[in-house]
Amino acid sequence: MLNFSPVTLASMQDIYRYLPLSHSNTCDFTVGGIFMWIEYFDYRYCIQDDTLFILGRLEDDRREIAFSLPLGALPLSRSVGMIEEYCRAHGLPPNMSAVPEDALPALQEAFPTSRVEELVDWGDYLYDSRSLATLTGHRYNKKRNRVNKFAREYPGYEYRRLMPDDLPSVRSFFEERYCRQADFSEMARYENGAVLQVLDHYTALMAWGFSGGYIVVDGNIVAFTIGEVLGNTLYVHIEKALYDYAGSYETINYRYAADCCSEHPEVLYINREDDAGDAGLREVKMSYNPLRVLKKYDVFL
């Protein structure tokens, strides 16, 4: 019988070795995708028979428990069967959440009576890494112009890699410019706390592929970003910039992508995660010409 324990920073080392076994390029199977949302989804984990099981909550209804797609040595039919056994023993519904589209056929073949619902607001935007790192071609004219205008407006600006010594100043910037508003939604408030958690544990997270960058204008931070390289993909978990500095978002996006692609030539894709159903955010993400949107599904066994 599966026996679940709370996910902690210390347990991420055990979890991490299974994450490369997912080839879906979705952010749910990354250190950041799990660590940042531990409390929001009440994540717990179990490793049994060299297979990782994660128990959390449904993306669209956190009142209901849900399991991630198991990763490891066991065949899918067996590992999901163990989830069913656990649910029967505990009187729980055998729900699965954020199942990647490429895993759906095998799951439906093993469990043909399962019901599937697309998570329409939670698909990840996947981009060609070289396109975002260079902004070449007519499709990126507007982005390139915004970056060039930012450089003209602030000719002395600096892009710097985020190192442990920089964390206090970046944290202060984030707290002062992002955490003092009163009109945040529940998810936005949680996300702000998650960003602070990442900053507080950034040095440890660097061991699992985390890196970041920030932009300084006249001695002041105006933008920063943090991501994670796993396999052939850079996952951008955090990106914050000041709208007062026109082009700051485009510039931090471009400079960090270029920096990571230079440092990690194996990176073929950049995952800039979902739009959470926000129409404005969706428009921005589409304006960067994604290769595709990685669909995810809830599956009710």
Residue 59: pLDDT band by 50, 70, 90 thresholds? confident
Q: For residue 138, is pLDDT > 70?
A: yes
Kindly report, residue by residue over 161-220, the tens digit of the pLDDT: 999 999 999 999 999 988 776 566 888 889 999 999 999 999 999 999 999 999 999 999
According to the model, what pLDDT value does residue 187 have?
Answer: 81
Comma-separated ranges of CATH 3.40.630.30 domains in the chain: 5-121, 124-273
| pTM (predicted TM-score) | 0.96
Q: What is the chain's Cα-based Rg?
A: 20
Question: Span 266-270, mean pLDDT?
Answer: 99
CATH 3.90.1300.10 is the classification of domain 124-273: no
CB 95 within 8 A of CB 66: yes
Q: How many CB atoms lie within 10 A of CB 160?
A: 16
According to the model, what pLDDT value does residue 274 have?
Answer: 97
Kindly report, residue by residue over 222-262, the tens digit of the pLDDT: 999 999 999 999 999 999 999 999 999 999 999 999 999 99
Q: How many CB atoms lie within 10 A of CB 183?
A: 5
CATH class of 5-121: alpha beta
